[in-house]
Amino acid sequence: MTDSLRIALAQLNPTVGALGANLELARKAMADANAAGADILMLSELFLTGYFPEDLLGKPHFVADAITLAGTLAEETAGGELTLILPTIWREEGVLRNAVIVAQGGEIIATRFKVELPNTDVFFEKRYFAAGELPEPVEINGVRIGIPICEDIWHPRVCAALVRRGAELLLCPNGSPYWTDKQHIRKELVRARVREDNVPLLYLNQVGGQDELVFDGASFAIEPGERLVLQGKSFMPDFLVSDWLRRPEGWRCAGEDIVPLPSPEEAPWRAAMLGLRDYIEKNGFKSVLLGLSGGIDSAVVAALAVDALGADRVHSVMLPYRYTSGESLRDAEACARALGIKHDTVSIGSPVEAVTAELGALFAGTEPGLTEENLQSRMRGLVLMAISNKFGAMLLTTGNKSEMAVGYATIYGDMNGGYNPIKDLYKTEVYNLAAWRNAHLPGDAKGPAGEVIPQAIIDKAPSAELRPDQKDQDSLPPYPVLDAILRALVEEERAVSDIVADGFEYDLVKRVEKLLYIAEYKRRQSAPGPKLTERAFGLGRKYPITNGYRDGSGR
């Protein structure tokens, strides 16, 4: 039995499916832990496969390869004092599990299985795994360690059972994605478990972007008394080493090492930045391209891209037509100059006029309208995709959540692109983040400090500029009003009658509800983007396209 433990938490950025690369990350962590004199090293949930591998788990060879590599890593603990806690997939008697293996001296000394399999929001583990029974603690160097896995700590019975069976410390590996306030929600959850069970809990989270999910790290530890004693970096890899001592009242941390959390304004910017960076780099793209219109959305996307990748990997293009204002031309150029990115202008006038002429006979006798306006957007999308194809740059699309909610976007036009960094930000949030970014340089950003989004862009009324003097509010309510109604309908799933009771006009709420439902087919074809809220379109909110329901309440 020992009275001290040095515990290392490897907050790393694995890539789903990259078994060999993840194995090397684990080996490096083991070397770092040995160099630090750690007794225990823990990796994050499903580390070798990456979280979450989805239907890769239906490929027998993938499962077999992952299990083999887990065994290989266990063998590599031979000849040292380090105990490895490796979360991995594991098959026992033909049943696939979300598991941890505990390896020491070159052998697997214990396996434990996740009890509570999440099956809500972005999680669907019951599709792949069988749940485990309530686990026993694992004895490491004479200390009984409980290892609840991620969702297990959201259910008091798992930690309670571990402590009842003798656990003196709880070590929890996680694959917990970011959304608004999630860092504080986790901390309150762990405080509740520590308060109930009176033992310390060390919470390890992974970091990195995975398609629409962003994992923010921010690993931490809380000891009895609800005292935060350890907290790692947010949105960046980290390696946390802490010393724990056995005292009369139980195990306590020997010191404090706390990295402050980012502010509520910085966190969504950092999340969007990380999601974009990893989507580009993990998929092998060298650079990105976007249409820079002189409007707020494309300016914010350009700033995010520069912060994520650096100015030399970002290319913007202005695509003017007869309705493009001189102000927009100047603002786009000023934004590109402030960010230090390559900026080109390609007029769409001739190709739009040519298509319009070719359609003239077919459209004879009809009035010009939305169809002709959308030709402009679709021509811009065509030109941008041509540049993307020619130079191999990933095209970023720039529609915000407000626009995507009500279908204020042109499919096969401004929706063209492979990734959308602001897909889960309402228009009002885009404005707020633009002002915040001009006053702050986010941690690990590669962009310049200072005003990178010209104030003229923030100040002017938003417009698609598809007809003379067009403004968004010609077709939509003011964005503060629209966003409030959308939050009630999307995030809160509130009834029309409740929203009307808040002071909104019935006809307006019903109109927004109708637009929300009929735009579902567009959203199904939209580019992925980072999930920044609890109810992101796509991964976090799935509605049928063919949907006859309409809320009849409110009048």
- 176 is annotated as contributing to ligand binding: yes
DSSP label at 544? -
Concerning whether 172 is annotated as a catalytic residue, the answer is no
Tokens of 297: 């959305």
DSSP H/E element including 386: helix 370-391
CA distance 274 to 484: 27
Nearest to 103 by CA among 62, 69, 151, 154: 69
Concerning whether 114 is annotated as a catalytic residue, the answer is yes
- 108 is annotated as contributing to ligand binding: no
CA atoms within 13 A on the CB side of 148: 27
- 460 is annotated as contributing to ligand binding: no
- 522 is annotated as contributing to ligand binding: yes
- 28 is annotated as contributing to ligand binding: no
- 182 is annotated as contributing to ligand binding: yes
Tokens of 398: 């720039």
| Bridge partners (DSSP) listed for residue 323 | none
Instruction: Give φ, ψ of 96 to 5 degrees.
Output: -85, 135
How far does CA 43 lie from the centroid of its chain?
20
- 531 is annotated as contributing to ligand binding: no
Instruction: Give φ, ψ of 553 to 5 degrees.
Output: -80, 170
Residues whose CB falls within 8 Å of the CB of residue 303, separated by 6 or more in sequence, listed in order:
335, 339, 434, 437, 447, 452, 453
Concerning whether 45 is annotated as a catalytic residue, the answer is yes
Q: Per residue in 541-554, is it b (16+ CB within 10 Å) or e — as a string?
A: beeeeeeeeebeeb
* CA dihedral sign, ordered 503, 507, 510, 515: negative
Number of H helices, E strands in the chain: 16, 20
Catalytic residue among 45, 151, 223, 266: 45
- 471 is annotated as contributing to ligand binding: no
- 498 is annotated as contributing to ligand binding: no
Residues whose CB falls within 8 Å of the CB of residue 555, separated by 6 or more in sequence, listed in order:
497, 500, 506
Query: What order do you get walking across the sheet with 143-146 strand by strand?
Result: 138-140, 143-146, 169-174, 201-205, 220-223, 227-231, 257-258
- 67 is annotated as contributing to ligand binding: no
Catalytic residue among 116, 125, 150, 223: 150
- 296 is annotated as contributing to ligand binding: yes
DSSP H/E element including 403: helix 401-406
- 294 is annotated as contributing to ligand binding: yes
- 295 is annotated as contributing to ligand binding: yes
CA distance 142 to 41: 16
Instruction: Give φ, ψ of 341 to 5 degrees.
Output: -105, 155
- 292 is annotated as contributing to ligand binding: yes
Place of tokens 């695509």: 319
Catalytic residue among 114, 282, 401, 423: 114
CA distance 289 to 307: 14
Positions marked active-site = 45, 114, 150
* Residue list for the binding site for ATP: 291-298, 398
* Residue list for the binding site for L-glutamine: 176, 182
* Residue list for the binding site: 176, 182, 291-298, 374, 398, 403, 522
* Residue list for the binding site for deamido-NAD(+): 374, 403, 522
